[in-house]
Amino acid sequence: MPRPTALLLGTIGHARKEWESLSEIAELKEITTGTRESVIQDFKDGKYDGVVAIYRTYDSAQITGRFDKDFVSQLPSSVRFLCHNGAGYDQIDIEPCTARGILVAHTPGAVNNATANIAMMLILQALRKTYIAETSLRKGTWRGQLPLGHDPDGKVLGILGLGGIGVALSTRAKAFGMSLIYHNRREAAHNPAGAEYVADLAQFLGRCDVLSIHLPLTEVTRHYLGKKELLGLKKGAVLVNTARGAVIDEAALVEVLEAGHLGSVGLDVYEEEPKIHEGLIKREDVVLFPHIGTFTIETQKKMEVLVVDNVCSALTRGKLLTVVPEQKGKEAEIQENR
Ligand SMILES: O=CC(=O)O
């Protein structure tokens, strides 16, 4: 029996040893450079025929672009599993994968604490406007025009999307004395900090002193918060986003900021990364991080190991450990699409 082949698309920084240990059960191939066109040509030329499972990094989108319908249709017919390194998998269109019988894994859980830490950090920094404090000090003007900040204690934190990261944030925010509400499509089964469920979005937004976004980016959640919703926040409210930039209409956010409606904003994600809206860059009441939610040695390792474990499970048992929600429970049916 020929050994199956696994393909690494992108680079591994922390679980190289774990990836290489897969050579005991599979042939390993790698794509670390190239363009969408060159990769598609290699697929056509049969260079990756026999690949059963793909390990895909977030940054590999710089090589291939999105795994959209067109790209998925060009994959070798042997591909059965796509293992993505990231909790968010908006770079992958799930429907064409399902139609081709390809199961997709992501890395939920592994990202929760690190991303919640960045969200909490942004909340505190936005409340204190630390950007003004630090730039003023570095300019040699000590506190300069730094306004007094706000304490988190007693403020209402609205968590939009109480999933794994939202829960991790809720326990942190509770320790800072914040009062917690959340909005989901349905009441959450896991809510250890006892956040209050608010079913109506407009009512939810109207109660937030601080709003933190934890929704995945899908066609439904793209521009979920537009001008109307942002104006539905209290005047002076703080908005933090560590999920995906396009969940907010960024141009509307700048407009609402310029109108003086929001107190401050903390962002780790943007609509067109790495491009940042000029209207955000120039504002001093906005804290901006370059998408570093999971940017720690421990979390990067945890995520990479989980992807390798998914590839291993796919090759040895024909099953993924952390299949995406759209395919969960339908794996056998999807595999029959082949
Ligand atoms: O943005 C980070 C992730 O999706 O894991």
Q: Where are the domains of the chain?
A: 5-110+298-336, 112-288
Which protein residue has the closest C-alpha to ligand 1 atom 4?
A: 88
Burial of 258: CB neighbours in 10 Å, binned 0-12, 13-18, 19+: exposed
139 C-alpha to ligand 1 centroid (Å)? 34
> Is-catalytic flag, 183?
no
Fold (topology level) of 5-110+298-336: Rossmann fold (3.40.50)
Distance between CA 290 and CA 270 in Å, rounded?
Answer: 9
For residue range 54-101, list pLDDT tens digits in order. 999 999 999 999 999 999 999 999 999 999 999 999 999 999 999 999
What value of ipTM does the predicted structure carry? Answer: 0.94
Half-sphere exposure of 67 (CA within 13 A, CB side): 26
Over the chain, what is the mean pLDDT?
97
Is 87 a pocket residue for ligand 1 (Cβ < 6 Å)? yes
Distance between CA 119 and CA 79 in Å, rounded?
Answer: 36
- pTM for the model stands at 0.95
Which protein residue has the closest C-alpha to ligand 1 atom 2?
A: 86
Is 163 a pocket residue for ligand 1 (Cβ < 6 Å)? no
In the predicted structure, residue 1 carries a pLDDT above the cut 80: no
For residue range 150-180, list pLDDT tens digits in order. 999 999 999 999 999 999 999 999 999 999 9
> Is-catalytic flag, 273?
yes
pLDDT score for 2? 78
What per-residue string of b and e applies to 233-245 under the rule 16 or more CB within 10 Å gives b? bbeebbbbbbbbb
Distance between CA 322 and CA 247 in Å, rounded?
Answer: 24
CATH for 112-288, options being 3.30.1650.10, 3.30.420.340, 3.40.50.720, 3.40.640.10: 3.40.50.720
Distance between CA 264 and CA 310 in Å, rounded?
Answer: 40
Alpha helices in 225-296 (DSSP H): 227-231, 250-258, 278-281
What does the angle CA 98 – CA 213 – CA 85 come to, to the nearest 5 degrees? 40
For residue range 182-199, list pLDDT tens digits in order. 999 999 999 999 999 999
Angle, in degrees to the nearest 10, between helices 112-128 and 164-175 = 50
For residue range 113-152, list pLDDT tens digits in order. 999 999 999 999 999 999 999 999 999 999 999 999 999 9
Do 5-110+298-336 and 112-288 come out as alike in CATH topology?
yes
216 C-alpha to ligand 1 centroid (Å)? 10
